[in-house]
Structure 1
Amino acid sequence: MRSRALQVLALLFLLLAIGVAWLWQQRRPPALATEKLVIAANTEYVGACAVVAAQQRGYFAAQGLQVQVLPFSSGKASLQAVVEGKADVATVADIPIVFAAMDGLPVKVLATLFRSGTDHGIVGRRDHGVVTPASLKGKRIGVTQGTSGHFTLDVFLNWQRMEGRDVTMVNYKPEELGQALQRGEVDAISGWEPFLGATRKQLGDAAVAFSGEQAYESIYNLVALRRYTTEHPAVIQRALQALHEASAYCERQPQAVHGMLPATARLERAEVLAAWPSYHFGLELDQSLLLALEDRARWAIRNRLAASREMPNFLDNMYLDGLAGVRPSAVTVIH
């Protein structure tokens, strides 16, 4: 009798376990279908930290994304990869967005990933007569034209009561600037970190550095073409969720990030940690981005750098739905 009772209890327990397991399966969200995503990113720039961290720490994978990161040395080149169909999205500062919009390209900003006012500037050579900002007059200056380094140089020269025609600008890729200065092909270069820091270190006491902190705030963004936002809205939201989590990691863990990023791995740990408080990682679509884009567009029009002479309506270049589904409070664009 007792044996039969134990058998009944065992059967009831088994049925209960099966029932609990079934209920648990019903409550679990369905597994995300794996989607491929190709990101063109300037992995040499600290602003790409969220992209690198999301890939290496599994935030993309947790969102069901199989991500390939194509490395480039500038946002301008990254955006061109999207235009050519080699990538789905790109990381890029504000200047290339302006030129794309003025050329009529249907580029859409998905989110701002990073801001900093301390990573642009100018490095010159003392033995070439560069000792003060005013001494840049008449000098040959290496710069990647059509980028934030170009904008920074122009604004910096204006503060010295100079114009672009008062110097000779020589166009180089970002990774070529330091070598051009070392070879003596130019007297100074204008660009961003980590290229500036590496150049200062290589030149040693011969280097003279001028900060671009007051000339330019780097606003680093994730962008795609309009067609991609229309065809893949769910993928965009999943990518933004992963980048949101990765941005928090980048903000809180500079010591761990130091060795993870190509942009910082070659620098001294103390140097990286000292610079970190001036970096802001976090996803947003802020009204200030529109104002910055308009400011950069006026610069492009004034200097006849773009084919168009008309100010774009940059609200047309904002894709708000993606971030609104991830961090609605971070979308402050007036629309």
Structure 2
Amino acid sequence: MTRLTRRALGAIFFAAAFMSSSAFAAEPLKELKIGYQKTGLPVVARQQKVIEKAIAPATVKWVEFTAGPPLVEALNVGSIDVGWVGDAPPIFGQSAGSAIVYVAALASNGAGEAVFVKPESAIQSLADLKGKKVGVGKGTSAHNLLIAALEKAKLGFDEITPVYLSPADAAAAFASDKIDAWAVWDPFFAIAETRYKPRVLALSSEVLNVKTYFIANRDFAAAQPAAVTTTVTALGEAAKWANANKDKVAEALHEVTGVPLDAQILAANRSVFSVEPITPEIIAHQQETADRFAKLKLIPNAIKISDAVWTAPTN
């Protein structure tokens, strides 16, 4: 895939915003509701207030979620307008008929998402997970990592016992040994590292070629295209700042989320910050993930990812 420079990417989004605002007489935006999680680029953007500055005089309301699936549901019902999720949540949402669209691709969780066990565990490899209980959020990016990692180890998903838990509940289950392994993303993975020094069985960066996504409520994107493209451009500015100020990113994440600084330092140091257009290659990789879930009958309907990719209007 040919990577666009930040300047070129910004020009594309700004041009789209200009054309959208001039061609469509949308009602003036009064408030933008953004869903975010405890780490990642949107948190940096919130701390830097780049979106607030970009869409003024409209205001911004930030709504925190513990995982992607409830964020997607909030988008579906219009409780929020845009939000950031991993690769799997929009697939589950689209399959269930959620009114969501892909707006931009952000960097993957990469080295910040893993399947791991406690250091004293007898489990030494993915193959040893056969018959074991693995905590994971259903429909999350970690769910996809777990499935793909097991495939790589020649172990069927039906050969383990998935225990579907929110990150907070999984953390408690992991602490009390009610699950044998845990698949999760930062900062929860980083928190576990600081507490347990776990044995990592698989990292997302070793198994998958995926992105995370900035997505929007379909009706909101249609009614407020300029707000969507302006927000994405502002995220690009936050990414530029984050990559140039890695030493300050952890403090920014800690300030917004309250997650312990040592865990956010771990998360920040292995993070990559980027904003990219949704390309055919990105769509193809996301389609592979959707097909994987459909094959295992984990989603109600097979889907075509390209049907949910939003394009800013140009005339």
TM-score (norm 1): 0.77
Does structure 2 retain, via aligned residues, the 8 Å contact 1:118–1:217? Answer: no
2:35 is paired with a residue of what secondary structure? strand
- Determine whether 1:316 maps to 2:272: no
Return the alpha-carbon distance in structure 2 between the equivalents of residues 286 and 175 of structure 1. Answer: 34
1:161 is paired with a residue of what secondary structure? coil
Does structure 2 retain, via aligned residues, the 8 Å contact 1:247–1:283? Answer: no
Return the alpha-carbon distance in structure 2 between the equivalents of residues 229 and 269 of structure 1. Answer: 32
Cα offset for 1:194? 1.8
For the structure 1 residues 274 and 111, does the alpha-carbon distance in structure 2 shift closer, same or farther, using more than 3 Å as the test?
Answer: closer
Return the alpha-carbon distance in structure 2 between the equivalents of residues 104 and 257 of structure 1. Answer: 36
- The superposition leaves residues 213-246 of structure 1 with CA deviations (integer Å, 9 ceiling, x where unpaired) of 2222451111112211111112212212222211
Q: 1:141 aligns with which of 134, 138, 156?
A: 134
- Determine whether 1:184 maps to 2:177: yes
Cα offset for 1:66? 1.2
Cα offset for 1:53? 3.1
Cα offset for 1:140? 1.0
Q: 1:40 aligns with which of 20, 25, 35?
A: 35
Does structure 2 retain, via aligned residues, the 8 Å contact 1:113–1:220? Answer: yes
Letter in 2 for 1:157: L
Identity of aligned residues (%): 20
Return the alpha-carbon distance in structure 2 between the equivalents of residues 58 and 261 of structure 1. Answer: 13
For the structure 1 residues 189 and 268, does the alpha-carbon distance in structure 2 shift closer, same or farther, using more than 3 Å as the test?
Answer: closer
Deviant stretches of 4+, over 4 Å: none
For the structure 1 residues 271 and 98, does the alpha-carbon distance in structure 2 shift closer, same or farther, using more than 3 Å as the test?
Answer: closer
- Determine whether 1:120 maps to 2:120: no
1:97 is paired with a residue of what secondary structure? helix
Higher relative contact order (CA 8 A, sep 6+): 2
For the structure 1 residues 193 and 293, does the alpha-carbon distance in structure 2 shift closer, same or farther, using more than 3 Å as the test?
Answer: same
TM-score (norm 2): 0.81
Return the alpha-carbon distance in structure 2 between the equivalents of residues 109 and 119 of structure 1. Answer: 22
**Aligned twin of 1:250:** 242
Cα offset for 1:61? 2.8
Structure 1: gaps of 5 or more residues: 1-32, 326-335
- The superposition leaves residues 246-301 of structure 1 with CA deviations (integer Å, 9 ceiling, x where unpaired) of 1211221111111011477522686456424xx14223222222112210111111
- Determine whether 1:298 maps to 2:262: no
Return the alpha-carbon distance in structure 2 between the equivalents of residues 208 and 66 of structure 1. Answer: 44
Structure 2: gaps of 5 or more residues: 1-27
Cα offset for 1:163? 0.7
Map 1:12-161 → 2, pairs under 5 A: 35-42=30-37, 44-46=38-40, 49=41, 51-63=42-54, 64=56, 65-161=58-154
Cα offset for 1:69? 0.8
Return the alpha-carbon distance in structure 1 between the equivalents of residues 92 and 310 of structure 2. Answer: 18
- Determine whether 1:167 maps to 2:160: yes
Map 1:207-246 → 2, pairs under 5 A: 207-212=198-203, 213-246=205-238
For the structure 1 residues 34 and 152, does the alpha-carbon distance in structure 2 shift closer, same or farther, using more than 3 Å as the test?
Answer: closer
Please provide the CA RMSD for this pair: 2.3
Does structure 1 retain, via aligned residues, the 8 Å contact 2:31–2:60? Answer: yes
Letter in 2 for 1:35: K
Instruction: Name the stretch that deviates more: 106-115 or 261-270.
Output: 261-270
